[in-house]
Each structure stands twice: as C-alpha cells, then as structure tokens.
Structure 1
Amino acid sequence: MKFSEIVVKDSVITDLKVENKEDAIRKLVGSLRVNGQISADNEESIVGAILKREELGSTGIGKGIAVPHTKHPSVDELIATIAIAPEGVDFASLDGEDVYILFLLISPPDRPGDHLRALETISRHLRNENFCNFLRQSRTPDEVLELLTEADQDEV
C-alpha cells in the first residue's frame, strides 16, 4: 500500500498548534472534512470513535510519533492525513514524550485487511529515523508530499 493511495493531499497540516490529544484529533479530522473527505454530519462521530480507540491505549507509539486510527461506516475507502506539530503535543505516548508527527487513518469497517496493511506501511516508514527527521523538518504540505512520494518509490 502506498501513501499516495490513502493520504489526502490537501488535508496535510505542517504547523499544528494544539494543547492536547483531543484537539489534535479534532484538527486532523476537521482537515478531512474541510477537504470534502468526510461530511460535517459524521465529523463528531469519527472524532468520538478515534477518542474511544485512544482509551484502549495511546496510539502515541513513541519517538515523537502518533498514529490515531479508527474504522468508521461513513467512509468508503481508506483515508489518511498527516500533521506536523513543531512544538509537540502531549499525546500520552508510551514513552511519555511529546508527539511531533501524527498520521491519522480512517477505514471502512468492512476492509480490516486494508486497515492493517495501511497501519503496517505507516509504521514501517516511521521506523526509519531519516524519514521521520525529514518529516519533522517539513514546513509545507508540498514538502511532506514529496517525502511520501519518495517513500512510495522505495516500495517498488
């Protein structure tokens, strides 16, 4: 699975400034709504589903990275967005550190295999320290998308 297949280009945020995890999730989901990927009617339900998933255990996986995700019946295909938080966000991460890179993934409930493949692709790339360093240094959505394109080409 490639980033280009799931990341909504116009929803990438490179200057996320929020106080906490819930605000970060709301901004990410909001960016998908603003760009027509989810309806305003479903926005709150999606935020709630992601927050409920967070109650099971933080998706702040450590090393400044979080991958909040959920399955939701309002989406027909996998959609994702990315935010860079230059000042960091307290995400109750497993290592207790702030999060600087957030990948949000929403999948249809009837495609669990695709959901897992997308999470695996995201996590594989996020284990690459160089990839993460360049992501954190990205100041524009275009810079983020260029990195994702390079990562996709490495998949071939």
Structure 2
Amino acid sequence: MKLNEFVVPEAILPELKAESKESAIRQMVASLKTAGKIREVDEEAIVSAILKREELGSTGIGRGVAVPHTKHPSVESIIATVALCHDGLDFESLDGEAVYILFLLISPPDRPGDHLRGLETITRYLKKDDFCSFLKQSTTQSQVVDLLQEADENLV
C-alpha cells in the first residue's frame, strides 16, 4: 500500500494552527469534509470516534509524530490526511514531546486489513528521518503531495 492510494491531497493542511489535540483532530476531519470525502452529517461522529480512540492511549507515537485514526461506517474506503503543525502541539505523546506531523486515518469497519495496512504504511514512512525532516519543512499542499509521491516511488 502506498500513501498516494489513500491520502487525500486536497485535504492536506500544511499550516495547521491548533491549540489542542481535539482542535487538530477537528480541523483534519473538517478538511476531509471540505474535500468531499466525508459527509457533514458524519463529521461529529467521526471526531467523537477518534477522540474516543485517543482516550485509550495517545496516538502521539513519539519523535514529533501522531497518527490519530478510527474505523467508521460512513467511509467506503480508507482515507487519510496530513497536517503539519510548525509550532508543535501537545498531543500527550508517549515520549512527552510536541507533535509536528499528523496523519489522520479513517477506514471502513468491515475492512480491518486495510486499516492495519494503512497504519503500517504511515508508520513505515514516518520511521525515516529524511522523510520527516522534509515533511516538517513543507509549507504548501503541493510540497507535501510531491514529497509523498517521491517517498512512494522510492519505497523498497
């Protein structure tokens, strides 16, 4: 699975300004709504599902990265967006550090394999220091999209 198969380019937020974990999640879900990937009627339920998942344990996995995610019946296939918070965000990360890179993932409940493959793909990319470094420097949607495409092409 490659990032460009499920990251929605028009939902990418290269300059996220959020004061809290919930604010960041709400903005990312709203970007997917604006991009036409989720319906307005489902927006609050998706936010609630992601926040409920966060109560189980932060998806701030360390090294300045968070991957909030959920399964929700309103989506027909796996979708994701990326947000960059250049000022850093307290995401209650496992390592206690601020988060700068966020990938938000939503998948249908009846496709758990896709959900796991999506999470695995995201974390595989985020383990690469160069990828994270370039991503943190991106300031436009097109820069992020280009970086994701380049990473997909160089995937071994």
TM-score normalised according to structure 1 size: 0.99
Tell me whether 1:68 sits opposite 2:68 in the alignment.
Answer: yes
Structure 1 equivalent of residue 58 of structure 2: 58
Q: Which amino acid aligns with 1:73?
A: P
| Residue aligned with 2:145, SS | helix
Tell me whether 1:3 sits opposite 2:3 in the alignment.
Answer: yes
Show structure 1 runs of 4+ deviating over 2 A.
none
Q: Which amino acid aligns with 1:93?
A: S
> Identity of aligned pairs, percent?
63
Residue by residue over 1:92-151, the C-alpha shift from the partner in whole angstroms, topping out at 9 and shown as x without a partner, is 000111100000000000000011011001000100001000000001010001110011
Q: Which amino acid aligns with 1:70?
A: T
Structure 2 equivalent of residue 85 of structure 1: 85
Q: Which amino acid aligns with 2:126?
A: L
Structure 2 equivalent of residue 42 of structure 1: 42
Q: Which amino acid aligns with 1:18?
A: A
Q: Distance in 2 between matches of 1:53 and 1:22?
A: 12
Note the 1:91-106 alignment, pairs <5 A: 91-106=91-106
Q: Distance in 2 between matches of 1:12 and 1:34?
A: 11
Structure 2 equivalent of residue 30 of structure 1: 30
- Report the number of matched residues: 156
TM-score normalised according to structure 2 size: 0.99
Q: Which amino acid aligns with 2:118?
A: A
Structure 1 unaligned regions, length at least 5: none
Q: Distance in 1 between matches of 2:73 and 2:143?
A: 32
Structure 2 unaligned regions, length at least 5: none
Note the 1:106-121 alignment, pairs <5 A: 106-121=106-121
Q: Distance in 2 between matches of 1:89 and 1:39?
A: 27
Q: Distance in 1 between matches of 2:146 and 2:112?
A: 28
- Deviation at 1:50? 0.2
- Deviation at 1:155? 2.6
